[in-house]
Amino acid sequence: MHVFTDPKNFDAYLSGFLWILKLTGASAVFALLLGVLLAGMRVSPVPVLRGFGAAWVNIFRNTPLTLVIFFCYFGLYSTLGLSLSQELDLNRYWLGVIGLSVYTAAFVCEAVRSGINTVPTGQAEAARAIGLSFAQTLRIVVLPQAARSVIAPFGSVLIALCKNATIVGTIGLMESSNVMKDLINSNGDAVIPIFLVIAGTFAALLIPTGYLFGWLANRLAVKR
């Protein structure tokens, strides 16, 4: 454990995990908004919107995240000159957030759509019968009920997002995985403790998160 008692290493470990948390937090918000919007498009009466939602989901769900992040960096930044911050690390961070958000939004969209499918058709029929429009039906009647059955899939999307945040290390952000690589390379005698601490941090955060979402999903499940 001497590796982590060195304040320099400990700081690297902390800042690495902090990047992961920041990436997860920002991307979760954007992915959620975008994903719900996309799900709305996919069930809408307008064919162009449906097509757009379907195309988005099919493109991003079937492309490796590594390629998406890679494209954000080399395509958006290096080639097109999209710079989001003067600071190199912050720029990488925001490019990473873009990649993670557009990728995760596809999964959020599919989760919401499968949630919409669990709402009995009678609900939407009744909403239509009292004269609600499509937007009202979705917003007031269907989505609130779908939200409760979507909690468990959301939990796994969020957990996967947090793990996927390590992939932003590909474009040079010093997050947990890059920190681990550096620590291993400079402390060859303590590779197992290094792995156990850094992987253990993820496990300690994500395993309880999984159980929390499972518990929430059970508690808030619509009894039918």
Partner 1 sequence: MSTTSVLYDHPGPRARVRNTVLSVVFGVALLGLLYWIYTKFDQANQWEPRLWEPFTRSTTWTQFILPGLWATLKAAVVGMLLSLAFGIVFAVGRISDHRWISVPAGAVVEFFRAVPLLLMIFFVFYGLPYVIKQPVTAFWAVVIGLTLYNGSVLAEAFRAGIRSLPAGQSEAAYAIGMRKTRVMQLILIPQAARAMLPIIVSQLVVLLKDTALGYIVAYPELLQRGVNDLAANYGNIIAAAMVIAVIYIVINSMLTWFAGWLDRRSRVRAFRVPKQTAPANAPDSTPEGGVTVSEPQG
* C-beta closer to partner 1: residue 91 or 115: 115
Cα separation, 224 vs 207, in Å, equals 29
Output 87 or 211, the one with its CB closest to partner 1.
Answer: 211
Tell which one of 9, 24, 101, 166 touches partner 1 (CB under 8 A): 166
Residue 59 DSSP SS3:
helix
Give me the least distance between CB of 153 and partner 1, in Å please: 4
Least CB distance to partner 1 at residue 11 (A): 19
113 sits in the region (left: phi over 0; alpha: psi -120 to 50; else beta) called: alpha
Choose the stretch contacting partner 1; rule: CB under 8 A; options: 5-13, 22-30, 84-92, 123-131. Answer: 123-131
Pick between residue 10 and residue 211 the one whose CB is nearest to partner 1: 211
**Contact predicate 106/128, CB 8 Å:** no
**Site residues for partner 1, window 63-122 (CB under 8 A)?**
63-67, 70-71, 74-75, 78-81, 103-104, 106-107, 110-111, 114-119, 121
Q: How far is the CB of 169 from partner 1 (least distance, A)?
A: 7
CB 111 within 8 A of CB 150: yes
Contacts to partner 1 from residues 2-41, by CB under 8 A = none
DSSP alpha helix (H) spans, 43-87 = 47-61, 65-71
Q: By CB under 8 A, tell whether 180 contacts partner 1.
A: yes
DSSP line for 144-159: HHHHHHHHHHHHHHHH
CB 196, CB 34: distance < 8 Å: no
- DSSP codes of every residue in 103-163: HHHHHHHHHHHHHHHHS-HHHHHHHHHTT--HHHIIIIIIHHHHHHHHHHHHHHHHHHHHH
Site string for partner 1, 40-59 (x = CB under 8 A): --xxxxxxxx--x-----xx
Contact pattern from residue 126 through residue 165 relative to partner 1, giving x for each residue in contact according to CB under 8 A and a dash for the rest: --x----xx--xx---x------xx-xx--xx-xxx-xxx
- The piece of 6-14, 21-29, 87-95, 186-194 that touches partner 1 (CB under 8 A) is 186-194
Q: How far is the CB of 87 from partner 1 (least distance, A)?
A: 23
∠ CA 60-212-103, nearest 5°, is 10
* Chosen residue from 18, 61, 88, 90 binding partner 1 by CB under 8 A: 61
Of 16, 5, 56, nearest to 180 (Cα)?
Answer: 16
